[in-house]
Structure 1
Amino acid sequence: MNIAERYIRLAHAIDAHAPGFIDGYGGPQEWADRDRRDPGQLRREAADLARRVEDVPEADRRAWLTVQVRAMQTMTRLLDGEQLRYSDEVRGLYDIEPRRADHAALEASLQIMEDALPGTGPLVHRKNALRDRVTVPPSALLDVTAPILAELRERTRARFGLPQGEGFSIGLVSGKPWSGYNWPLGGLQSRIDINTDLPVTLTALPDLMAHEGYPGHHTEHSTKEARLVRERGWLEHHIQLINAPECVVSEGVAMNALDAVMSREELHSWLTGELAVRAGLDPDDVAAMLRVAEAQSSMKGVSGAAAMLLHEDGRPEAEVIEFLSRYNVVSEEHARKNLEFITQPNLRAYIFTYAVGSDLVRGFMASHGQDAFGRLLTEPLTPGQLEMQVPVA
C-alpha cells in the first residue's frame, strides 16, 4: 500500500469517529473506507504512518506529509481519550501558536471605528444601522454576485492561470456557523455556499467571493489537484482535512485573495460605482461601510482571543459573549453565532487559521512580492515553512 493510500484510508477512519474531519475528497472510492476501528488502533496506525513518511524521497512532499500526519496523530490522541490543553490542541493540529489579544490594541481599534461611523449613540447600533443600508437581500444576492465572480475569475486567470475545466456551483443556505464555505468536490469542481442567517453586505461580497472562489479556496484546491495530483501523482492531495496545517495556508491564501488581484483603490471605485448601482444602494453609504470595514480589519484576532478565554481559561460563556459583542461590535445574537463557531468540535481550534494564516501569507508576499501568491496556489507549503520565509524557487 503506497503512502497516499495509507494517508487517505487513515483520514477516513478518523472521520468515522469525528465527522467533518474530511473537508473534501475526490480520490478512489475504494480508499474511502469508513469502517470504525478502535481509537487505540488508529493511534498506532498514525504513528506507523509518521515513520513511513520519513522515507518519502521528495523533500517538499515529505515536509508537507510530516505536519499533516502529526495532526492526524493529535486527532487520534484526542479520540483515544487523552486530555490536551486547548493551546496544545491548536499546536498539534495546525502547527501554529494560538494568539491572545492585545486589549490596548483592541480598544484603539474601537476608537478608530467610533470616528469612522456616522451618527451618534451606541457603536453597535450605528454600525448596524449603516450595515442595514448596504445589505443585499437574499433574493438579489446571486444577481449581484455574478459580475463579481466574473471579474475575479478573469483577473485570476490572467495573473495566475486556471486549470482547464475548473468550475463550481453557488447556492444560499441557512443554519450554519459560518458566512460562506467552499466544499471541494474533486475533479477540479467545488460548491460555494453563502449563509443568509445574518445580513450579507455589498462591501463584504467581493472579499467573500475572492475568499471562497477566485483566487481563494476554489482556485487553490483545483490548481493543486491539477498540479500535484494529475501532474506529479501525489494522490494525498485528493483529500482536504479540516483539522490539519494545510488549512492555515489555505485560509491565509483566502484571506489575502482579494488583495492578490485587486488594489484597494480599484475595490473602492468598483463598490461605490458599478456594484452600488447594480444593488440599488447609496454610494455614500457604501463608502462609509468601507471605512468601517478598514477600521475593523485590525480586530481580526477577536474570535481566537475569545476561544482562548473559553477553552484555555475556562471563562463562562456570558463573559465570552460580552467580549465578542464589544470587540466585534455586534449584537448579542450575532455574538452567539460567533460562539457557535468556536464551540463546534471540528472548528473550535480552527479559528486561529484565519488570523495566523493571514499574517503568514501576507508576510510571505511582502518578502517575495505578489508573484509569491502563485506559489501558494501550486506548492504544498506548510505554516512552518512560511514562518521561516522559504526562498522563492
Structure 2
Amino acid sequence: MVLRWTSEPVGDAIVDIVLSLNEQAQKLHKQEVATASYSHVKPSLSSLDEIVRKIDEVEREIQHLDGHPVRYLRSMVNAYRYFGRSLQGDKLPYSEYILNIQELPSAVITEETMRKQKQLVEEGLSNLGYKGSLKEKADQWHKETLIAPDQVVTVAESMREKSKEGTLKRVISLPEEDGIDWIKPITGVFWSGYSKYTGDYRGNLTFNIDRPWTEPVLAQIMAHEGYPGHQAFYCRWDYLFQQGKLPIEASYYLINSPTNALFEGGPETALRFLGWDRDEEETEGIPLEKKRQYKLARDYIDMQRMAQTNACFLFNDGDIDKAEAIEYMKKEGNLGEVEADNCFRFFSDPIQKMYYPSYYYGRWMVGKGYDAIAKENRPAFFEQLYDTPHTTHTFIDAISKMTGTDFRPFDQEKKAKEDFVL
C-alpha cells in the first residue's frame, strides 16, 4: 500500500519533478541530485520549461491541504522552483537561493562563535597533554593519530559493525536485509566520504584518500556516512515507504531542498547519538581515552566547518576570490592545502554551492535539538528526525513543541556581513 498525502496524480507528479530535475542536473552538470527514490515513478519531463509548468500545476493542487503536509509540500515545491531557476542560470543573490532552497540563513559566523569553538579545541588538546599554540598542538595531535592512506579502509571497516550495533541499540531499528556491501578508497574528488544507496536496503561507502585521515576524524565520518548516518537514513526511509508509513510525496532524497539540513545534520551528530563521545555511556567497547579523542575530533571538525562555511558565504557573495578563500580556511580552520582546495571545489561547484551550508547549519540545528531533549524522550526525537518528513522550518517547530520552549538554533549567526572583518 502506498501512503499518500495528495491524490495519485499529484503525488506522482511531485516525484516526477524531482527525478526530472535530476536528469537536468546530470545533463547540465553531470551530477546526480536525486540520490534515492523508493517509488516506481519515472521521470517524464524533458526540459526545464516542462518542469516549471508541472510545478505550477502541483502548487495549485496542494493549496487545499492543511497542517503539516501543506507546510512541508509548499516549502519543497518552492525549492523545486528555485533549484530550477539555478539550473537555468538565473543570477539571484546567493542568500536568496539559500533561503528559498534550504530555508537557511547565510550570514557569516561571528568571530565570537569561532573564538569559543577554538577555545573548546584548545582545551581538548591541552587535556590530552599537548603543548604550545593551538596550531602547534593540533598539528602534533594530527601527526600522532594519522592513518596511512592504504589503511583508511581497514580502519573504517573496523568501525562498521560497532557503529551499527550502537545504532540498533540506541537510535533506530533497521530491516535485517540492511548492510554496507563494500568500503573503498577513491582519489580525484572534492568530498571526503560518500554514501551510495544501491537499493534493497544496501549501500556502499567511499573515502577520499587524497586528503589526510586521522583515526578520530575517520570515526566521525564513518558514523556520518554509515551508521547512524546516511546508510541508516536511506535504509530506514526505504523500509518505511515499503511499509506504507512514508508518503510518496517524500519518498526520495533531493540535493538542494529544505530537507538537506536534517539529512546532513543527523549524520554530523551521528557519533554523539552513539554516545562515543560521552564518558557516562557504555558503548561498544569504546574506551574512555578514545572517547576523549572522538570528542576532540568533533570539536575540531566544527572549528574547521565554521571557517569553511564563512569562506563559502564570502566567496559566493563575491567578497573574496579563490586564493583568499583558501588562505582564510587555512588560517582560521587549520586546514591543509589539499583540504582547503577540496572544500573550495565543493562550495564553488554550480550544484554543490547551494548544498554546502546544510552541513554547518544542519549540525547545529540537529545537535542543539538533540541536546535539548531529555534522555527519556530521545526515541521521540529520533522519530521526528528519521521517520517524519520535515523541512528546516517544520523541524525547528517540532523541537519547540517537544521542549515547550522557542527553539532558535541559528540566532548566534544573525550578524550583518558588513560587521565581519577578514
TM bracket (short chain): 0.7 to 0.9
> Structure 2 residue aligned with 1:105, among 113, 116, 123?
113
> Structure 1 residue aligned with 2:389, among 364, 380, 385?
380
**Any idea what SS the aligned residue of 1:184 has?**
strand
Residues 120 and 299 in structure 2, CA contact (< 8 A), matched pair in contact too: no
How many residues are aligned here? Answer: 380
> Structure 2 residue aligned with 1:162, among 164, 167, 174?
174
Return the letter of the residue paired with 1:176.
V
In the TM superposition, what are the counterparts of 1:204-353 in structure 2 within 5 Å? 204-232=217-245, 234-266=247-279, 291=296, 294=299, 297-298=302-303, 300-353=305-358
Deviation, structure 1 residue 129: 4.2
Q: Distance in 2 between matches of 1:17 and 1:299?
A: 33
Q: Distance in 1 between matches of 2:269 and 2:122?
A: 26
Structure-2 residue corresponding to 1:16: 23
Structure-1 residue corresponding to 2:46: 36
TM-score (norm 1): 0.85
Return the letter of the residue paired with 1:22.
A
Q: Distance in 2 between matches of 1:355 and 1:186?
A: 28
Q: Distance in 1 between matches of 2:111 and 2:361?
A: 18
1:282-314 deviations in Å (ceiling 9; x for gaps): x79x96786465355355322221111111143
Q: Is the alpha carbon distance of 1:296 and 1:334 closer, same or farther for their aligned partners in structure 2, counting shifts above 3 Å? A: closer
Structure-2 residue corresponding to 1:150: 161
**Any idea what SS the aligned residue of 2:190 has?**
coil
Q: Tell me, yes or no, if structure 1 residue 46 matches structure 2 residue 58.
A: no
> Structure 1 residue aligned with 2:216, among 187, 200, 203?
203
Residues 102 and 258 in structure 2, CA contact (< 8 A), matched pair in contact too: yes
Q: Distance in 1 between matches of 2:149 and 2:310?
A: 31
Residues 130 and 289 in structure 1, CA contact (< 8 A), matched pair in contact too: no
Q: Distance in 2 between matches of 1:193 and 1:267?
A: 32
Structure-2 residue corresponding to 1:279: none
Q: Is the alpha carbon distance of 1:245 and 1:292 closer, same or farther for their aligned partners in structure 2, counting shifts above 3 Å? A: closer
Q: Tell me, yes or no, if structure 1 residue 177 matches structure 2 residue 186.
A: no
Q: Is the alpha carbon distance of 1:143 and 1:365 closer, same or farther for their aligned partners in structure 2, counting shifts above 3 Å? A: same
> Structure 2 residue aligned with 1:80, among 85, 88, 95?
88
Q: List runs of 5+ in structure 2 lacking aligned partners.
A: 1-7, 27-31, 404-422
1:104-155 deviations in Å (ceiling 9; x for gaps): 432454466556363557x556534432321222332333223322111112
**186-195 or 127-136: which moved more?**
127-136
**246-255 or 236-245: which moved more?**
236-245
**Any idea what SS the aligned residue of 2:203 has?**
strand
Q: Is the alpha carbon distance of 1:185 and 1:4 closer, same or farther for their aligned partners in structure 2, counting shifts above 3 Å? A: farther
Residues 55 and 77 in structure 2, CA contact (< 8 A), matched pair in contact too: yes
> Structure 2 residue aligned with 1:391, among 382, 388, 401?
401
Identity %: 19
**Any idea what SS the aligned residue of 1:31 has?**
coil
Q: Is the alpha carbon distance of 1:153 and 1:233 closer, same or farther for their aligned partners in structure 2, counting shifts above 3 Å? A: closer
1:135-193 deviations in Å (ceiling 9; x for gaps): 22233233322332211111211232112312223222122211111122332222221
Q: Tell me, yes or no, if structure 1 residue 90 matches structure 2 residue 98.
A: yes
Q: Distance in 2 between matches of 1:326 and 1:246?
A: 32
Q: Is the alpha carbon distance of 1:191 and 1:50 closer, same or farther for their aligned partners in structure 2, counting shifts above 3 Å? A: farther
1:29-75 deviations in Å (ceiling 9; x for gaps): x6134x631x3332222222222233457x44433322222110101
Deviation, structure 1 residue 268: 11
Structure-2 residue corresponding to 1:4: 11
Structure-2 residue corresponding to 1:362: 367
Structure-1 residue corresponding to 2:206: 193
1:65-92 deviations in Å (ceiling 9; x for gaps): 2222211010122233422100001111
Return the letter of the residue paired with 1:242.
I
Residues 43 and 80 in structure 1, CA contact (< 8 A), matched pair in contact too: no
Residues 220 and 377 in structure 1, CA contact (< 8 A), matched pair in contact too: yes
Return the letter of the residue paired with 2:238.
E
Structure-1 residue corresponding to 2:417: none
CA RMSD of aligned residues (A): 3.1
Deviation, structure 1 residue 368: 3.3
Deviation, structure 1 residue 202: 0.6
Q: Distance in 1 between matches of 2:75 and 2:243?
A: 23
Deviation, structure 1 residue 241: 0.6
1:336-391 deviations in Å (ceiling 9; x for gaps): 11111111122112121112112221233234332212331111122102222353
1:221-267 deviations in Å (ceiling 9; x for gaps): 21122123432362344421111111111111111111112152459
1:200-235 deviations in Å (ceiling 9; x for gaps): 211022221221111111112211221234323623
Structure-2 residue corresponding to 1:280: none
Residues 211 and 338 in structure 2, CA contact (< 8 A), matched pair in contact too: no
